């Protein structure tokens, strides 16, 4: 596997792990310091878009089917497989627990000195007034989701790049039948 595949997957896995650590930190009391930064969401989106699209292009260029991609990933060292698997499982668990404890409120904000959030309860959708403690809970839940989903997607990009690199390495090792 070439060094560009290793670098690309390392960047994607590092980004995913960082986002999952930040998502985990939202379980601690208080709001993350960067919660109000609009540039954070934009930076996450841009970096996720660039790593994911290039990972998908690398995977598409191999021309392999799902089974070959899975077999290529299984050819990687066990530590790499386990690390990506544990990180992906961590992200999925974060998302499941976040959704289970979230309730029906999202997009909390302060309007005219009052705390409001959007209620997604069926047949009662709309903006509702909430307490300050509930406001903090909704903010943390929104942050957790905003960080965990891109984290899992970045780990998926790392998986795709590693599988594409392994497929490329395997294709390069095959000797054509007409050369003897």
pLDDT in tens, the chain (180 residues): 678 888 988 899 999 999 999 888 887 776 666 656 677 778 888 988 988 898 888 888 888 788 888 888 888 888 988 998 899 899 889 888 877 766 777 776 777 877 887 777 777 777 777 777 777 777 777 788 888 889 999 999 998 898 888 888 776 665 666 655
Residue 63 lies in a domain: yes
Determine, yes or no, domain membership for 114. Answer: no
In a domain, 36, yes or no: yes
pLDDT of residue 14: 92
User: What's the pTM value of the predicted model, to 2 decimals?
Assistant: 0.79
| pLDDT at res. 146 | 82
Tell me whether residue 142 is in a domain: no
Asked if residue 135 is part of any domain, the answer here is: no
Give the span between the Cα atoms of 8 and 12, in whole angstroms.
Answer: 6
- Backbone φ and ψ of 168, nearest 5°: -65, -40
Q: How many domains does the chain have?
A: 1
Is 140 part of any domain? no
On the 0-12 / 13-18 / 19+ scale of CB atoms within 10 A, 179 is exposed
Distance CA 114, CA 105 (A): 15
178: in domain:
no
Q: Which residues of 13-28 are buried (b: 16+ CB within 10 A; e: fewer)?
A: bebbbebbebbbebee
Q: Which domain holds residue 30?
A: 3-103+150-173
Q: Is residue 8 part of a domain?
A: yes
Q: What is the pLDDT of residue 86?
A: 92
């Amino acid at each position: 596997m070439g060094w560009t595949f290793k670098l690309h997957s390392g960047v994607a896995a590092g980004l995913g792990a960082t986002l999952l650590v930040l998502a985990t930190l939202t379980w601690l009391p208080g709001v993350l310091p960067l919660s109000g930064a609009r540039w954070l969401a934009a930076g996450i989106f841009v970096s996720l878009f660039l790593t994911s699209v290039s990972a998908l292009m690398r995977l598409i260029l191999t021309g392999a089917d799902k089974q070959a991609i899975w077999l290529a990933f299984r050819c990687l060292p066990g530590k790499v497989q386990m690390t990506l698997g544990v990180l992906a499982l961590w992200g999925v668990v974060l998302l499941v627990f976040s959704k289970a404890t979230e309730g029906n409120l999202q997009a909390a904000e302060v309007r005219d000195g009052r705390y409001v959030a959007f209620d997604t309860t069926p047949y009662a959708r709309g903006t509702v007034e909430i307490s300050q403690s509930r406001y903090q809970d909704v903010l943390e839940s929104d942050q957790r989701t905003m960080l965990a989903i891109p984290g899992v997607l970045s780990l998926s990009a790392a998986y795709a790049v590693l599988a594409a690199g392994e497929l490329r390495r395997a294709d390069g090792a095959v000797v054509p039948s007409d050369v003897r």
